[in-house]
Amino acid sequence: MSAVPQGRRVCAAGDVKVKQAVRVLVDDYPVAVVRDSDGELHALGDTCSHEDYSLSEGDVEDCTIECWGHGSQFDLRSGEPLSLPAYDPVPVFALAVHDGDVYVDITTVLNGAPAPTTN
């Protein structure tokens, strides 16, 4: 039996459908858990770097998510914006699936974006 991964359990893997995102809170910090078009799961900061819009409400296509507010697209792997008006990346977090549950570690930022501040 393998050890439980680092981070917090945020949802069941089955809760996140292909080409959809689910908003979860980790220590009061909003995170988007996203399943891309290929079925891979990703975890990134749920707030658009351009303005305070929830990315989990946006459209998922291939390996991108589009902010519903102004249309900026972000790469799910790197957090980099692919279109304006956003020009700063969103944080991408370590994610693991264990026994059908999704774990997100917001203390492990994978892309060099600023780490979240939590209470």
CA dist., res. 106 & res. 115, Å (int): 8
Higher local confidence (pLDDT), 112 or 90: 90
Could you give the percent of the chain with pLDDT greater than 70? 96
Kindly give, in sequence order, each residue whose CB lies less than 8 Å from that of residue 3, ignoring residues fewer than 6 positions away: none
pLDDT in tens, 40-54: 999 999 999 999 999
> What does the pLDDT read at residue 4?
67
Instruction: Dig out the tokens for 77 from the structure.
Output: 């792997």
User: Does the pLDDT value for residue 1 go beyond 60?
Assistant: no
pLDDT in tens, 59-102: 999 999 999 999 999 999 999 999 999 999 999 999 999 999 99
User: Does the pLDDT value for residue 119 go beyond 70?
Assistant: no
